[in-house]
Amino acid sequence: MTGYPNGLVGVLTLMMVLTFSAPSMGMTPKEQNLPTPLGYVSDYATLLDEEWHKQIRSVCKDLETSSGIEMLVVTIPTISPFPNAQDYASRLYEAWRVGTAQQERGLLLLVAVQERQAVVAVGKNLLPVLTPQQLDEISLKHLRPMFGSREYGINIYRSAVSLSTLAARAPIQKEKPQPQRSAAFWMNIGVVVLMVYALWRFTRPERRHPFPRWKKGEYWGTGQGGFGGNFGGFGGGTGGQGLR
């Protein structure tokens, strides 16, 4: 934590949510003494009026629609019984599975009123575009003044816009191409068809004669015997008449 004038405390922490502690694996939010998500915006501390709630939700929704990055905003009265806001945000990020479907492309902005702390949990694949320096700038402009002025709506909204703008710079991850099983499938079908066709060709009854078409006298041959059986030759039929 850092000390501020008038005894106010504000914290903006960059967190890499890479691994989770064994006791919390597979546990529901209720089992971890955590609230359940209420959508893009979970205002458990009732800091936001309807209009600010709607605008912040719109920022989160637009970010996910355009880039696939999931950003949630959470306000809570206190982090108790957790020792610090960082631990609370980490457990919340894990329990709600923020960014899991987007391959660790998630953000969670947590605001704790009693402790006057704000924490940002960042998925590992967004770290290149969300640096500690950039988060410190958001903290100085919006989050630290928020705890003094108590203008939560506008400052949380501006923080969400700033985080969304930075996160949107992350490259869109393409889905891994599915195995091309269709080509192999059709190749196998083609082989089967060719085998069936070949079997049919060589097992027809007419294949018993080595030259089936010659057998029927359909073609003229060059060997002895003239035009073949269909014409009957030149013998017999003209015999006895002689030539005049």
What is the four-CA torsion angle of 38, 35, 165, 60, rounded to 10 degrees? -10
- Within 2-151, where are the H helices? 50-67, 85-95, 132-138, 144-149
Query: Which tokens belong to 225?
Result: 């015997």
pTM above 0.75, yes or no: no
221 or 102: which carries more pLDDT confidence?
102
pLDDT score of 194? 78
Fold assignment, 5-167: Diaminopimelate Epimerase; Chain A, domain 1 (3.10.310)
Backbone angles phi, psi at 220, to 5 degrees: -80, 135
- Within 119-209, where are the H helices? 132-138, 144-149, 152-167, 181-202
Q: How many Cα atoms are found within 13 Å in the side-chain-facing hemisphere of 69?
A: 30
> pLDDT tens-digit profile of 82-133?
988 888 998 999 889 888 755 688 999 999 999 999 999 998 889 899 988 9
Listed by start position, the domains of the chain span: 5-167
42 or 85: which carries more pLDDT confidence?
42
pLDDT exceeds 80 at position 219: no
